[in-house]
Structure 1
Amino acid sequence: MSESLTTFAPIETPESLHPTGSLLVALPEIDDRGWCRSINIAHEGQRGLVAAHSDSALIRPVVTVDGVEASPGLEWRRLGHWVPSARGSDERGELGLAYLAPVAEQGVVARVEWTNTTGSPQEVALAFTGEWSAVQVHHFKAKRLSVGLRERDDEWTGARTVYAGADRLLLSISWRAGEGAAHGGHPAHGWLTERSGTLEPGDSLSLEVFIGVATEPDGSGATALHLRRRGADALLAGTLDWLDARSLGTGDDALDARLNENLFFSYFFAQADCLDSGRAVMLTSRSPRYYVSGAFWSRDAYWWTFPAILLADPARARRVLVESIASAGSDIAHHALYITGQRLYPGFELDELTAPLLAIWRYTDSTGDRSVLREPAIAAFLDHYRAELAEWFDADLGLYGTFLLPTDDPTDFPFVTTDNATVAVGFRILAAFDESPTAAARLLDRALSVELALVDRAITADGRWAWAIDSSGAHELREEPPLGLRLLDYFGVVDAPARAATERWLVTDYEYHFGGAYPGAGAPHFASPSSFDLGNRMLTANADLGDPVEQFVAAPLDNGLGCESWDPLTGQVVTGAAMASVAGFLAWTAWANRTGHRRWNDPFGSGAQGGPR
């Protein structure tokens, strides 16, 4: 038996969670009870995510009515398509709960409320409590650090603070009680904030806690006080205004809800600002549920996530594009990097070299801002792109090779059809950027030669597209949806008979096609229908399995959010839970489907200018 050198996706156990966060602070694990297990930040010094984790609950709401704890089942929804809010009721009253990570703030506001719906007075006690069990660092998997946890009650800011670090401080969290509340008897490495009162029938009592986050205790304590000064209502109103200004609308309420929830999940969980340095970074996911969280993949960042960020916030898109390309430098095409750019999982991938160029094009084309091309990091990347691409050229085939596939696995067939389609696009983009008509014409000729080589060499004897070719020109017959064969027309490599034959094969004879209520294509790496295939079908308006946008809206996925793959019968996540980058891919491809974006150089988003043909 030959040695396996692949890294397959682990199978998930579905879990109902309601993640939220800002670019500075993430709360990835809020469960149906409203218990929050962790808070994390992006940390440049640690080259990944640093998390305050609890083995029980870091933040737990407690409601006691006449001495008995109330725990009605909660129904969750998202305010502004992002802020998790829940309500539940029983025979004694109604409970409300919300978590807010205000935009542009280093912290969180949590609010719990009880309303007496009976005909008699009630003695009600509200509390938020929790305990910090461990410090974790995430690059792929979570690693517990052997650092001390200490606490202090700061009379100057009025905050209860727990912080982590030995010789160097890593993370600090401070809790400031809201109006009418006070700190109680704290558990070790934890906190307790309480408010109580007598409620007449129809009356309500609420408790707010303001949680500041920083890399050291003075900053977290002062931030908690700052949040208290601003107030929960103003912070919520400001955040909802920000979300409303960036929400996308199609006229279909169900689609808009699903699209925008995925858009904002990707916006806040597939990028971040490092709390210790302010650097803007891109990453797979800020949730520990994703099996390779806290790391950087060029393809994930620039092909799946970046278009979603661009639709929501062009100014932010420019910043994170420039800073993340600067961080990755000459290693940008390697399989996976730390968020600060160093190699984490080496191995050249051709699609990861071309993805940043597509993102740069999309930004300049949709905004008209070509000044980004003069940024030193972008100019350096364009030079590096040409040099590294040339190293992988095979003159006999007229095509470009790769070491790893778009599923990050090794291959004996290095000349991948869709990879080379993105190379042809890359030459057309470079021609559009080049101010010399002569040089631009040469680049367009290079693009055409790659396209012709694909048509000449990558169509099989039965008339469909091969997945890849080896150095002898032999075909490999497979599919990898992360850069699937359905996308060839999108990248401008058009052969109508081959497209039709390939699409028939994908739903009839492809080994990893799955029927069912939620059908689609997977791959050996994830043997289930995938978000990649669904996004490809939305992007190309392919209806061979029904309307893909309707499937996007209907599928349970990972609590409605993008995941790598799902069960074809139930639609529930099977691999890649909390995959923030693919949530962005689903959001922008659904938008593309409804707005008529069908080719890489079609107008994209507000203010798009069109592009070279």
Structure 2
Amino acid sequence: MKKILTTPKEIDRNERVLYAGNHYISIPEINVCDASIKSVNIVSLFNKALTEIYDDEYVFKPEFYVKEKKINIEKIECFKENYYISCFDVHLEEDINVIIRIYADLCEKGFVYEFESYKEIYIKLICNLKKLRLLRFNSHNIDFKKEFIIDKWLNNPAVNISSNSLSFAMAFGGDRDFNYEYYEDRLILNLKCKNKNAFYITMNSDVDGASTTLIHFKRKGFENIYLELKEWLCRKKIEYRRDLTIERILNENLFFNYFFAVGKDMESDKYISLTSRSHRYYVSGAFWERDSFLWSFPALKLVDIELYKRLLRDIIIVHSKNAGDHAHYIDGTVLYPGFELDEAASYFISVEDLEEYDREILKSLEFVLKRIEREYDESTMLYKTFLLPSDDPSEYPFVTIDNVILQRGFINLSRIYEKIGQEEKAELLKEKAEGIRIGIYKHLVKNIDGKDIFVWSCDKMGNFKLYNDPPGNLGLLPYYGFIDYRDEIFKNTIEYYYSERYRYYFKDARIKELACDHHPNTPSGLGLCGSILNPIRKDKAIEYVKLAVMDYGLLSESFDKDSTEAKTGVGFATGSGYLAMALYEALIKNADKEEKF
């Protein structure tokens, strides 16, 4: 086997962006220097991808005028209201101050560009709809036709966008005092603003749908759209008054995961799960089982339990036919082959949250189980993997964390079979789980420097590897119920890997988290999440989270060991879910349990 690593390119300098969106529409990149939007995307299950209107400069850009004189920005400050709504405090020439908010309707197919100024100004929103691409793993530019239309209902401008494989439309309007200019393929939206006013931009499958959605927005009004979203965010936020910095980090990551790791197909209204709807993430628009089942869904559950249960069931059914393959398209077909045991095992981690166990869901779970059983080794009682949690090839087939996750999964699945009266299957899974436990202690515990520790992986010939892959951090063993964190072997394990004896530990780094083969020079944000869930490392890890810049408060895959700024994996929505759920588990859920006792 050739050990070919597909490693991400390090970011030279990570630029801050804001973002907006709901499950239909994502706005992943809002420029913090001028409040312009650089891209807008929707889900296209037909194309197995996200469809994105984009431009390197801008897709929508506001300009400000007093009468006919253009007024430039002198200073701009950006912030998030209620941990999600993108806001800008803009200081213009002539002592004019404007507040800008960009937000999507909570449920409908459109978004709002809101402006607030107590001096009368005129705002032009320059529309630059010139480029279209599909986001699925990488970006794929596509040719398209653009047709400008005046809708009959409001006489509003609309644009129909079509290619050989897709078609959708956008409609444009304002709350009041709105007009537009269109010439030489250039659309400019105009608005007079004193106090508050807003542009509406709506999308749908065709011009009729986009324009009727625009009518709905005008009837509803931007103030009600804003209030509905604000009240929802207030209800859903997680309070942690002991530390407001942690509360901010937790909730910003929580909501980014909720809106950017989940999508709703405009054509079918089917929900999908994916790594990220932000093109800033280097493998956006695709599905990883680990990322969704282990990281994103536990955070989603904290926000909307009904959506979580629906998605859990739907995603198990859609993706189980290719359980364990490295990466899937959003429709469940294989994008990137290569078996990963932890990904296959991840289907079983939350199965007890399913509301019913009908034939379809049981068939899907049994299909996953059969795929996993192909990797069973009777002599060790362990299961093999081809790729690691970092998605890179494994030197030895039996990996500790993968088998630990599987053991937890087998225990969970056995309880389901007990509930539905299939005792024989339940007992078999319990025996398998116990066999894994025995196999791990027999083959994956070695004496290093006079102390027993868990090694990373081994084969049947006695070879083993000392390694700790951050997406599958060995510090997670207590989290999955495999061992008590006070156990000597576990304490020895953490002591070894977080020391100068281990090559991916940086003793002089500001944040002492582990790097790995996948990003050898930069500590891991995912490893930091694992440390939060590790009682031995928890307190230090939480201090590190407060110290880290990463993706300006959002989790990044890795970060610079000195500046703490993101170096790989920005716009990483499922990773944000991991950070949010880890903070909740460590600081709130477990604290609640302790108070009860």
TM-score normalised according to structure 2 size: 0.93
Read off the aligned partner of 2:6 and give its amino acid letter: T
> Once the 2 structures are TM-superposed, how far is the Cα of residue 47 of structure 1 from its aligned partner?
0.5
Alignment of 1:14 onto 2:8: no
Task: State the SS of the aligned residue for 1:513.
Answer: coil
> Once the 2 structures are TM-superposed, how far is the Cα of residue 579 of structure 1 from its aligned partner?
0.5
- Residue deviations 1:355-398 (CA, integer Å, cap 9, x gap): 1211223x25xxxxx42x2261x212221122112110011111
Alignment of 1:112 onto 2:111: no
Structure 2 match to 1:410: 393
Task: State the SS of the aligned residue for 1:294.
Answer: coil
With over 3 angstroms needed to count, the CA separation of the structure-2 counterparts of 1:541 and 1:260, relative to structure 1, is same
Read off the aligned partner of 1:583 and give its amino acid letter: S
Alignment of 1:448 onto 2:439: no
> Once the 2 structures are TM-superposed, how far is the Cα of residue 73 of structure 1 from its aligned partner?
2.3
> Once the 2 structures are TM-superposed, how far is the Cα of residue 210 of structure 1 from its aligned partner?
0.7
> Once the 2 structures are TM-superposed, how far is the Cα of residue 306 of structure 1 from its aligned partner?
0.5
Cα distance in 2, alignment partners of residues 442 and 603 from structure 1: 32
Structure 2 match to 1:493: 482
How is 1:450-465 mapped onto 2 (pairs within 5 angstroms)? 450-462=436-448, 463-465=452-454
Task: State the SS of the aligned residue for 2:498.
Answer: helix
Read off the aligned partner of 1:551 and give its amino acid letter: Y
With over 3 angstroms needed to count, the CA separation of the structure-2 counterparts of 1:396 and 1:4, relative to structure 1, is closer
How is 1:328-407 mapped onto 2 (pairs within 5 angstroms)? 328-361=319-352, 363-364=353-354, 370-371=355-356, 373-374=357-358, 376=360, 378-407=361-390
Alignment of 1:273 onto 2:264: yes
- Residue deviations 1:398-428 (CA, integer Å, cap 9, x gap): 1000111111111230100010011111221
Q: Answer yes or no: is the 8 Å Cα contact 1:210–1:225 preserved in 2.
A: no
Task: State the SS of the aligned residue for 1:19.
Answer: strand
After TM superposition, the structure 1 stretch with the greater mean CA deviation from structure 2, 417-426 or 431-440, is 431-440
Match 1:303 to one of 294, 298, 318: 294
Task: State the SS of the aligned residue for 1:289.
Answer: coil
Structure 1 match to 2:30: 30
Task: State the SS of the aligned residue for 1:73.
Answer: strand
Read off the aligned partner of 1:225 and give its amino acid letter: I
After TM superposition, the structure 1 stretch with the greater mean CA deviation from structure 2, 485-494 or 529-538, is 485-494
> Once the 2 structures are TM-superposed, how far is the Cα of residue 532 of structure 1 from its aligned partner?
1.2
Cα distance in 2, alignment partners of residues 193 and 326 from structure 1: 45
How is 1:240-255 mapped onto 2 (pairs within 5 angstroms)? 240-251=230-241, 252-255=243-246
Structure 2 match to 1:512: 504
Q: Answer yes or no: is the 8 Å Cα contact 2:137–2:285 preserved in 1.
A: yes
Match 2:128 to one of 131, 150, 166: 131
Q: Answer yes or no: is the 8 Å Cα contact 2:293–2:346 preserved in 1.
A: yes
Read off the aligned partner of 2:433 and give its amino acid letter: A
After TM superposition, the structure 1 stretch with the greater mean CA deviation from structure 2, 442-451 or 420-429, is 442-451
How is 1:142-153 mapped onto 2 (pairs within 5 angstroms)? 142-153=139-150
Structure 1 match to 2:564: 571
Q: Answer yes or no: is the 8 Å Cα contact 2:320–2:365 preserved in 1.
A: no
With over 3 angstroms needed to count, the CA separation of the structure-2 counterparts of 1:212 and 1:446, relative to structure 1, is same
How is 1:29-108 mapped onto 2 (pairs within 5 angstroms)? 29-32=29-32, 33-65=34-66, 67-89=69-91, 92-108=95-111
Structure 2 match to 1:173: 170
- Residue deviations 1:183-210 (CA, integer Å, cap 9, x gap): 134561x42121347xxxxxx4444111
Q: Answer yes or no: is the 8 Å Cα contact 1:284–1:296 preserved in 2.
A: yes
Q: Answer yes or no: is the 8 Å Cα contact 2:408–2:482 preserved in 1.
A: no
With over 3 angstroms needed to count, the CA separation of the structure-2 counterparts of 1:453 and 1:277, relative to structure 1, is same
After TM superposition, the structure 1 stretch with the greater mean CA deviation from structure 2, 313-322 or 464-473, is 464-473
> Once the 2 structures are TM-superposed, how far is the Cα of residue 28 of structure 1 from its aligned partner?
0.4
Cα distance in 1, alignment partners of residues 160 and 399 from structure 2: 49
After TM superposition, the structure 1 stretch with the greater mean CA deviation from structure 2, 568-577 or 551-560, is 551-560
Superposition misfits of 4+ residues, deviation over 6 angstroms: none
After TM superposition, the structure 1 stretch with the greater mean CA deviation from structure 2, 54-63 or 149-158, is 149-158
* Identity level (%): 26
The alignment covers a number of residue pairs equal to: 580
Cα distance in 2, alignment partners of residues 58 and 423 from structure 1: 46
> Once the 2 structures are TM-superposed, how far is the Cα of residue 157 of structure 1 from its aligned partner?
3.3
Read off the aligned partner of 1:84 and give its amino acid letter: S
How is 1:288-299 mapped onto 2 (pairs within 5 angstroms)? 288-299=279-290
Cα distance in 1, alignment partners of residues 180 and 196 from structure 2: 15
> Once the 2 structures are TM-superposed, how far is the Cα of residue 455 of structure 1 from its aligned partner?
1.1
Alignment of 1:237 onto 2:220: no
Q: Answer yes or no: is the 8 Å Cα contact 1:56–1:131 preserved in 2.
A: no
Match 2:408 to one of 417, 425, 431: 425
After TM superposition, the structure 1 stretch with the greater mean CA deviation from structure 2, 339-348 or 446-455, is 446-455
- Residue deviations 1:520-547 (CA, integer Å, cap 9, x gap): 1121102211121111111123338x53
With over 3 angstroms needed to count, the CA separation of the structure-2 counterparts of 1:395 and 1:22, relative to structure 1, is same
After TM superposition, the structure 1 stretch with the greater mean CA deviation from structure 2, 527-536 or 265-274, is 527-536
Structure 1 match to 2:251: 260
Structure 2 match to 1:549: 542
Read off the aligned partner of 2:435 and give its amino acid letter: S
Structure 2 match to 1:193: 189
Read off the aligned partner of 1:192 and give its amino acid letter: I
Read off the aligned partner of 1:96 and give its amino acid letter: I
With over 3 angstroms needed to count, the CA separation of the structure-2 counterparts of 1:229 and 1:451, relative to structure 1, is same
Cα distance in 1, alignment partners of residues 546 and 20 from structure 2: 20
Q: Answer yes or no: is the 8 Å Cα contact 1:169–1:215 preserved in 2.
A: no
How is 1:204-243 mapped onto 2 (pairs within 5 angstroms)? 204-243=194-233
Q: Answer yes or no: is the 8 Å Cα contact 1:194–1:207 preserved in 2.
A: no
Alignment of 1:326 onto 2:317: yes
Cα distance in 1, alignment partners of residues 184 and 504 from structure 2: 51
CA RMSD of aligned residues (A): 2.2
- Residue deviations 1:257-278 (CA, integer Å, cap 9, x gap): 1111100100110111111111
> Once the 2 structures are TM-superposed, how far is the Cα of residue 168 of structure 1 from its aligned partner?
5.3
Q: Answer yes or no: is the 8 Å Cα contact 1:159–1:225 preserved in 2.
A: no
Cα distance in 1, alignment partners of residues 213 and 290 from structure 2: 36
With over 3 angstroms needed to count, the CA separation of the structure-2 counterparts of 1:99 and 1:507, relative to structure 1, is same
After TM superposition, the structure 1 stretch with the greater mean CA deviation from structure 2, 170-179 or 511-520, is 511-520
Q: Answer yes or no: is the 8 Å Cα contact 2:323–2:368 preserved in 1.
A: no
Structure 1 match to 2:156: 159
Cα distance in 2, alignment partners of residues 187 and 21 from structure 1: 30
> Once the 2 structures are TM-superposed, how far is the Cα of residue 437 of structure 1 from its aligned partner?
4.3
Cα distance in 1, alignment partners of residues 219 and 183 from structure 2: 24
With over 3 angstroms needed to count, the CA separation of the structure-2 counterparts of 1:526 and 1:49, relative to structure 1, is same
After TM superposition, the structure 1 stretch with the greater mean CA deviation from structure 2, 488-497 or 579-588, is 488-497
Q: Answer yes or no: is the 8 Å Cα contact 1:169–1:216 preserved in 2.
A: no
5+ residue gaps, structure 2: none
Alignment of 1:482 onto 2:482: no
Q: Answer yes or no: is the 8 Å Cα contact 2:346–2:406 preserved in 1.
A: no
How is 1:465-476 mapped onto 2 (pairs within 5 angstroms)? 465-476=454-465
With over 3 angstroms needed to count, the CA separation of the structure-2 counterparts of 1:332 and 1:3, relative to structure 1, is closer
Cα distance in 1, alignment partners of residues 239 and 300 from structure 2: 15
> Once the 2 structures are TM-superposed, how far is the Cα of residue 603 of structure 1 from its aligned partner?
7.7
TM-score normalised according to structure 1 size: 0.90
Cα distance in 2, alignment partners of residues 488 and 187 from structure 1: 62
After TM superposition, the structure 1 stretch with the greater mean CA deviation from structure 2, 440-449 or 406-415, is 440-449
After TM superposition, the structure 1 stretch with the greater mean CA deviation from structure 2, 300-309 or 46-55, is 46-55
Cα distance in 2, alignment partners of residues 195 and 171 from structure 1: 25
Q: Answer yes or no: is the 8 Å Cα contact 2:347–2:365 preserved in 1.
A: no
Q: Answer yes or no: is the 8 Å Cα contact 2:44–2:265 preserved in 1.
A: yes
> Once the 2 structures are TM-superposed, how far is the Cα of residue 307 of structure 1 from its aligned partner?
0.2
